[in-house]
Amino acid sequence: MTQTWPIDYIEPVFRPPSEAHSLILPLTNGCSWNKCTFCEMYTAPQKKFSVRDEKQVLSEIQRVSEQMIVQRVFLADGDALALSTRRLLTVLQAIRENLPTVQRVSSYCLPSNLKNKSVSELQELADAGLKMVYVGAESGDDEVLEKVNKGETFASTLSALTKLGEAGIARSVMILNGLGGRSLSAQHADQSAALMNATQPEYLSTLVVSFPLGDARFKQRFPEFEPLDQHALFVELQRLISQLELKDTVFRSDHASNYLPLKGTLGTDKQRFLAQLQQAIEHPETMALRQEWQRGL
Ligand code: SF4
User: 173: burial class by Cβ within 10 Å (0-12, 13-18, 19+)?
Assistant: buried
Q: Can you give the pLDDT at residue 1?
A: 54
How many percent of the chain have pLDDT more than 70? 97
Q: Can you give the pLDDT at residue 4?
A: 84
Q: Can you give the pLDDT at residue 88?
A: 98
Report, as an integer, the average pLDDT of 171-185.
98
Would you say residue 199 has pLDDT above 80? yes
Taking only the tens place, the pLDDT of each residue in 94-128 is 999 999 999 999 999 999 999 999 999 999 999 99
Taking only the tens place, the pLDDT of each residue in 204-238 is 999 999 998 889 999 999 999 999 999 999 999 99
Q: Can you give the pLDDT at residue 234?
A: 95
Measured in Å, residue 40 CA sits from the centre of ligand 1 at: 8
Ligand 1 pocket check for 31: Cβ under 6 Å: yes
Q: Can you give the pLDDT at residue 137?
A: 98
Taking only the tens place, the pLDDT of each residue in 241-290 is 999 999 999 999 877 778 888 999 998 999 999 999 999 999 988 887 87
Ligand 1 pocket check for 217: Cβ under 6 Å: no
Ligand 1 pocket check for 36: Cβ under 6 Å: yes
Q: Can you give the pLDDT at residue 256?
A: 73
Q: Can you give the pLDDT at residue 287?
A: 81
pTM: 0.95
Q: Can you give the pLDDT at residue 212?
A: 85
Beta strands 104-108; 72-76: pairing state:
parallel
For 17-284, CATH gives 3.20.20.70
Taking only the tens place, the pLDDT of each residue in 147-158 is 999 999 999 999
What are the helix (H) ranges across 179-223? 185-199, 216-221
Measured in Å, residue 2 CA sits from the centre of ligand 1 at: 37
Q: What interhelical angle do 230-243 and 270-282 show, nearest 10?
A: 160
What are the CB-based long-range contacts (under 8 Å, 24+) for 113-121?
A: 113/32, 113/79, 113/81, 113/82, 113/160, 114/81, 114/159, 114/160, 114/163, 114/164, 115/156, 115/159, 115/160, 117/81, 117/85, 117/163, 118/163, 119/163, 119/166, 119/167, 120/167, 121/85
Q: Can you give the pLDDT at residue 293?
A: 65
Cβ-contact 282, 238 below 8 angstroms: no
Ligand 1 pocket check for 279: Cβ under 6 Å: no
Would you say residue 160 has pLDDT above 60? yes
More confident residue, 169 or 212: 169
Letter for the amino acid at 9?
Y
Average model confidence (pLDDT) across the chain: 94
Q: Measured between alpha carbons, how far is residue 242 from residues 99, 245, 259 in Å? A: 44, 8, 19
Element (H, E) at 111: none
